[in-house]
Structures are given as structure tokens and as C-alpha cells.
Amino acid sequence: MKLRRWMAVGAVAVATVTALNTVPATASRPYDPTAQSLRTLALRHGLQIGTAVDMAALNNANDPRYRQITATEFSSVTAENVMKWESLEPTRGNYDWAPADQLIDFAKRNKQTVRGHVLVWQNQLPGWLTSGVEDGSISKQELRELLRKHITTVVSRYKGKISQWDVVNEAVSDPWDNPPTLHYKGFWAQHLGPGYLADAFRWARAADPKVLLFYNDYNIEAFGSGNPANDKTQFVYDMVKGLLAQRVPIDGVGSQGHLGTQYGNYDTLQVTDALKRFTALGLATAFTEVDVRSEMTEAVQAGDSAEINPRLQASAANFSVLMKACLAVRSCISFTVWGFSDKHSWVPTWFDNPPEGLATIYDENYQPKRAYHEIKSDLIFAGPPYVLPRITPKPRR
């Protein structure tokens, strides 16, 4: 983008920020960016900042802060569970749209975009589907038809209301799986073969010509050895490159960003490099499920600050690495956290041996943690010439 055009965008953004800032800046009381919400600060970069939403928490009248923060701090929402197949079609042929519709309405009222999650995944499938395949009452041919129908039905219903769909989620194995050589894993690959990926994107595109279609996965924040047999990022890179070569309508790659402080993880430039390589294929990028968990040792659980503080700091640093990399690459159009408060996080239930937690940007009492402050600082301090507004992708036909 030319400098003049950038300045025009900047002026609009500043005007918007000023309009949203209820207290006018004066000489004695200058404009204070730290008092702004994440969504206001992200606006200057054209970046959507999102959270996964737990519908039970959103509807709990005794937990008003959850609803308030969801509405005020974020410009995008993702259904944590209610758009998964088991929630949408618990019994065959009967769709329960109510909770998903509720989230769509909430987003509309709060001028938020919606990331659709998820159309094709091996987890949280309805029991009638998996047991039908298992006992042979659903044939392979029928299964493929059921998938086509599911994608078509769901994408059509929310046509025009969703900005990005996670079309396929977590299709690739991990080095710790058996066999360790990376491969297409799970229910869909097993029963339909890897061709289901291309089919799924084509069916989604047929149902909505304008929504952005994403492949979404974890542990693809940075490249490793470069050998697709053991480097998941390389495997996914080769996979999407192959899909594009077959003219499959895929628009973006979502990097979930589930990190843990015990692993050490990445520096900003490693992550930036990965985003750039996906961008060079002509794809949009996004962080879609960011959280940074820590081991809850006995001392942590007992409240020992000498153990807690380094974890909070390491978590903040990891959040910041992903945010900085996203800001640095103009194809990175959204940054979504997988829940914003330790009061409502999937981590303690899913990672319980050893127990893990402290993964989000607010504590259990909705007090912002270092991670919140750090990503807010990143949004404040970033700007030209190195950080420029996002480039809006055109949906592929």
C-alpha cells in the first residue's frame, strides 16, 4: 500500500478510535491507549480480535462479566462447541440451531464477525454417525453424501453471517502418533480417504461464494526440520499447496496456537516466517485458538508466587510472540483466543495429568493478566513502516 493511502486508512482509524473514546483527549488528559479495549486497538490494524464463546457462560445471569467482556473486548466470536456436528445434529435429521443462532445474534448486536467452527473434524461427531459407520448400517457412499449434506446445510444457513469457516480441522497426525510418520489421521481419512479434504472445500464454496474457507490445525506455528515426514507445518504447507494446485477453493490456514510454557516454543521471527510462507502461496492466515497453558504444580496450586509469576510471564511472552508475528504479516486477518478467562477454559478439563491451567489472558476473577497487557501493548506499539493494515483476501472460486 502507498504511504498516502496508508495515512488515509490511519486517519479513518484514528477518527474511529476517537469516536469510540468517550472521554475527549485534552492537554492535561491526553488520549490514553492503555484505557482502550483490545478491539478498539486492533481496529487501527484492520485486525479482528476474537474469542471462543462458551454459550452456557454467556447465558448465565449470575456471571455478567463474561458477557460484558465478550461484547466489549472482542470484535469477533467463535462458537467453542455449539457449531460442532454433535451439537447441531444430535439425532439424525433433526438440527438444533438455537444455541448457534443465539451466538450469531449476539455477534450482530455487538457488531462482531463470526468465525465458523467447524464443518469437518473427527471429534465431537454425533453418536448416530460414528456408530452407524461402525456397525455397517452407514456405507462409505452414504457417509460421503451425509458429509456433503451437512456442509451444504450448515454453510447455507449461515451464508452472509460468517466471515471465515474452519472447513477442515486437525486432519494431520502428530509425530507422537503411531505410526510416527506424519499422515492423514482420523475418522474421515479412514473411511473416505484424503480426497474428502478437496470435496469439503468445494461443497462449502458451492454453498457460500463469499465466505473465507480455512484449513485449521495445531502445532503449525513454525517450520521445523522441513521434512514432511516429521515436520507438521511442512506437511500442512505441502498439503495446501497441493490443494491449490488442484484448484480447490481454500482461502486460508488457521494456526490454532495452543501453546504451553513448559515447551519453550518459538520466537517471533520463526512464527513470522511461517506466516509469510503460507502467505506466499496466496493464502490468508489467522491465529484461531490461542492459549498458553502451564503445569499446575502443587506450589502453584498452593498460591506460591515464586512459581506462579514465571508462568504468567512465560504465558504472556508466548501470547505476544503470536500477536507480533500476526501484526507483522499483512495476511494475518484475525487473532482469536480460545476462551479469555481461567474461569472458563477447556485446559484444566483436558490436560489433567499432570494438571495444567493458567492458559488465558484474564484470571478466574476476570482480572487482566500479564498476557492481556502484553498483547494490548503489541497492538499499541505496532505501526508503520513495518506493521501495516491487513490485506483483505478475495474468496477463491
Instruction: Tell me which residues touch ligand XIL (CB under 6 A).
Output: 80-81, 169, 256, 289, 346
- Nearest-approach distance from CB 4 to ligand XIL, in angstroms: 41
Q: Give the pairing type, strands 356-357 and 284-295.
A: antiparallel
**Residue 30: half-sphere exposure toward Cβ, Cα within 13 Å:** 2
Residues paired with 295 in a beta bridge? 356
Contact between residue 220 and residue 236 where contact means Cβ atoms under 8 Å apart:
yes
| Closest CB to ligand XIL among residues 266, 346 | 346
Instruction: Give me the least distance between CB of 81 and ligand XIL, in Å please.
Output: 5
Q: Identify the active-site residue in 80, 289, 356, 374.
A: 289
One-letter amino acid for residue 260 of the chain = G
The residues, ordered by sequence, that sit 6+ positions from 136 with a Cβ below 8 Å of its Cβ are none
* 43 DSSP 8-state letter: H
Task: Kindly state the cell numbers that stand for 172.
Answer: 494431520
Residue 36 or 315 with smaller CB distance to ligand XIL: 315
The active-site residue out of 80, 89, 170, 374 is 170
CB of 10 to ligand XIL, least distance (A): 35
Q: Select 343 or 373, whichever has its Cβ closest to ligand XIL.
A: 343
| Least CB distance to ligand XIL at residue 258 (A) | 6
Closest CA to 20 of 46, 47, 43: 43
289 is catalytic: yes
Amino acid letter, residue 139: S
Return the number of the residue (116 or 389) whose C-beta is nearest ligand XIL: 116
Q: In angstroms, what is the minimal distance from the CB of 393 to ligand XIL?
A: 21
Give 221 or 289: the residue with its C-beta nearer to ligand XIL: 289
Distance from CA of residue 303 to its chain's centroid? 31
Write down how long the chain is.
Answer: 397
Helix (H, G, I), strand (E, B) or coil at 201: helix
Whole-angstrom Cα distance, residue 101 to residue 14?
A: 33
Annotated catalytic, 134? no
- As annotated, the active-site residues are 170, 289
